[in-house]
């Protein structure tokens, strides 16, 4: 809550994502008038949705199934902007990213989202998540846990502004003194590549790190043959411990 704070809005569509609003860009008259700014934002959002729909019409996507938004794209845009601020400014800001998401996770974006999360962790940018959709988002849970942000699924959507103001608007220093929603059971289990079911014990290929639920003769991802019988790795690790 500071005059010097800066907000940037990025919209995520199904096929594209783009910048909607940047408070640092403010024209001479637009900086004080909130209603003007909000109508401008709404107008740009509608333009964005139309453009996104037009782009989506060309390609055939699964109709009727749950479509996911391009979370990886918008996280990348946000991180680019943060890097730009780090490189150009003399002041040291403490940036953070807030993701407001309603659509479900798209499993095809897993690698890209994880890369974005590790990049944010390295630059020390917390990713907060506010899930307003029907189900929990595993990607955002992991994102907030790894980067040190807050994950929240508000039980009452009527009071959304209250959640946003009380939980997400606080700066990083004040968060140490507040009772913020604690992460309840982040699911870090992996899913096997053959059946896509979540497993808590499995086999990992030592060459390409693909996860399987049963022992196979050959890795389906990299083609390496496992000609040795599953020798228990416990004996080797026990000898290391004893030595």
Partner 1 sequence: MAHGGDGGSGRKGDERTENEDEDDEEDEENGGRDLEAWERAYADERSWEDLQEDESGLLRPIDTKTIAHAQYRRRLLQRSVHGTSRIQKGLIRYLYVVIDLSRAASETDYHPSRMSVVAKCAGTFIREFFDQNPLSHVGLVTIKDGVSQCLTELGGCPDSQIKALMGKLECSGDASLQNALDLVHGYLSQVPSYGHREVLILYSALNTCDPGDIMETIKHCKKAKIRCSIVGLSAEIYICKHLCEETGGLYAVALDESHFKELLLEYAPPPPAIAEYAIANLIKMGFPQRGAEGAISICSCHREAKIGGGHTCPRCKARVCELPLECRICGLTLVSSPHLARSYHHLFPVTPFNEVSHTLPIRLQQKLPQNCFGCQQSLISHGMLFFFHMFCIWYVHVLSNVYISV
Which residues share a beta bridge with 191?
Answer: 198
**Interaction between residue 69 and partner 1 (CB under 8 A):** no
Question: How many C-beta atoms surround the C-beta of residue 150 within 10 A?
Answer: 20
211 contacts partner 1 (rule: CB under 8 A): yes
Say whether residue 140 binds partner 1 (CB under 8 A). no
Cα pseudo-dihedral 19, 23, 26, 31, rounded to 10: 140
- Does 89 sit near partner 1 (CB under 8 A)? no
Task: Report the residue number, 5 or 198, with the smaller CB distance to partner 1.
Answer: 198
Q: How far is the CB of 160 from partner 1 (least distance, A)?
A: 25
Residue 27 interacting with partner 1 (CB under 8 A): no
Residue 155 interacts with partner 1 (CB under 8 A): yes or no: no
22: helix, coil or strand? strand
Confirm or reject binding of residue 117 to partner 1 (CB under 8 A).
Answer: yes
Could you tell me where the DSSP H helices lie in 8-131? 34-58, 71-88, 110-122
Give kind and range of the element (H or E) at residue 146.
helix 138-147
Asked if 13 interacts with partner 1 (CB under 8 A), we say no
Interaction between residue 84 and partner 1 (CB under 8 A) = yes
109 counts as binding partner 1 under rule CB under 8 A:
yes
- Residues ≥6 apart with Cβ < 8 Å to 196: 107
Note whether 224 binds partner 1 by CB under 8 A.
Answer: yes
193 lines the binding site for partner 1 (CB under 8 A) = no
Half-sphere exposure of 233 (CA within 13 A, CB side): 3
Identify the helix (H) or strand (E) that includes residue 238: helix 233-242
> Tokens 């942000």 identify what position?
149
Phi–psi pair at 131, nearest 5 degrees? -95, 115
User: Can you tell me which of 60, 108, 158, 225 binds partner 1, judged by CB under 8 A?
Assistant: 225
| Binding stretches for partner 1 (CB under 8 A) | 19, 22, 72-73, 75-77, 79-81, 83-84, 87-88, 109-112, 114-119, 122, 142, 146, 182, 184-190, 199-209, 211-212, 215-216, 219, 222, 224-226, 228, 230, 232-234, 236-240, 243
């Amino acid at each position: 809550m500071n005059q010097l704070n800066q907000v940037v809005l990025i919209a995520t569509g199904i096929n594209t994502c783009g910048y909607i609003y940047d408070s640092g860009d403010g024209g001479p008259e637009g900086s004080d008038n909130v209603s003007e700014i909000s109508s401008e934002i709404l107008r740009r959002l509608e333009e964005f949705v139309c453009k996104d729909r037009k782009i989506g019409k060309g390609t055939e996507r699964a109709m009727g199934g749950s479509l996911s938004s391009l979370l990886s794209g918008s996280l990348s845009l946000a991180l680019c902007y943060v890097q730009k601020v780090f490189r150009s400014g003399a002041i040291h800001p403490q940036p953070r990213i807030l993701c407001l998401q309603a659509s479900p996770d798209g499993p095809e974006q897993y690698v890209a989202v994880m890369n974005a999360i590790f990049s944010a962790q390295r630059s020390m940018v917390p990713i907060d998540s506010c899930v307003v959709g029907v189900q929990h988002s595993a990607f955002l849970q992991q994102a907030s846990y790894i980067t040190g942000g807050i994950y929240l699924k508000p039980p009452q959507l009527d009071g959304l502004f209250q959640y946003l103001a009380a939980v997400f608007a606080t700066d990083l220093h004040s968060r140490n003194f507040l009772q913020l929603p604690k992460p309840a059971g982040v699911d870090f289990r992996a899913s096997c590549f053959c059946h896509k079911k979540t497993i808590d014990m499995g086999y990992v290929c030592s060459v390409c790190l693909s996860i399987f639920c049963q022992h196979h003769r050959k890795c389906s991802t990299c083609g390496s043959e496992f000609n040795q019988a599953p020798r228990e790795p416990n004996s080797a690790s026990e000898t290391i411990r004893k030595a």
